[in-house]
Amino acid sequence: MNSDKKERSFWNRRSGTTLFLLAMASIGFLAQFQVVGVVLITVYGVIMLKIKMPVKTTFIAVLLALGMVPVAILAGNWLIAQNFAAYAFLLFVWGVVALTADLQREIHPKK
What's the pLDDT tens digit per position in 34-91?
787 788 888 888 888 888 888 888 898 899 889 989 988 998 888 888 988 998 999 9
CA 6/CA 38 separation, integer angstroms: 36
Alpha helix stretches (DSSP H) within 1-110: 2-29, 34-51, 55-74, 78-107
What does the pLDDT read at residue 17?
Answer: 64
What does residue 84 show for φ and ψ, rounded to 5 degrees? -65, -35
pLDDT of residue 48: 86
Domains of the chain by residue range: 2-107
- The whole-model pTM stands at 0.69
Q: Are 17 and 57 in contact (CB under 8 A)?
A: no
The more confident residue out of 87 and 111 is: 87
